[in-house]
Amino acid sequence: MKTYINTINELLATEDILSESEIATMIMADNEIENNSFSDFDEEEEEVPSPVTSKEALNALKILIRYEEQLSDNNENSINNLRKKLLLYERMYEKTKKQVSLEHMWDN
């Protein structure tokens, strides 16, 4: 038991003897690191990815179809399914390009 207690009270080989002001500075720096690391962690969890637009989805699908066509072991069935999805996304994109009526703004 005495060996254990004496070991705890001994200085580490890499530990310098610090003055009171250095100890205070070190403690304040440790507190800042701990406080900032927890707040940064919380902020990262709260970040929500930005929504994907229909144009971005359409372009990504076109790239995926091109990639699938370039593969040597391309599966025609999967490419056909992607092309069907492409038609769906093209229609969705066309709907977003239509001008919205502003009549509801003038009704008030």
Domain ranges, ordered by start, for the chain: 17-48, 54-98
Nearest partner of 96 among 56, 65, 49, 62, judged by Cα: 56
Asked if 65 contacts 83 with a C-beta cutoff of 8 angstroms, the reply is yes
State yes or no: pLDDT of 86 exceeds 90: yes
pLDDT band at 101 (very low <50, low <70, confident <90, very high): confident
pLDDT for residue 1: 66
Q: What is the pLDDT of residues 31-43, one digit of tens each?
A: 888 787 555 555 5
Question: What is the Cα–Cα distance from 10 to 13, expressed in whole angstroms?
Answer: 9
Q: Which amino acid is at 90?
A: E
pLDDT band at 16 (very low <50, low <70, confident <90, very high): low
pLDDT for residue 29: 85
- Average pLDDT, stretch 78-93? 91
Asked if 93 contacts 58 with a C-beta cutoff of 8 angstroms, the reply is yes
- Average pLDDT, stretch 84-98? 88
pTM above 0.75, yes or no: no
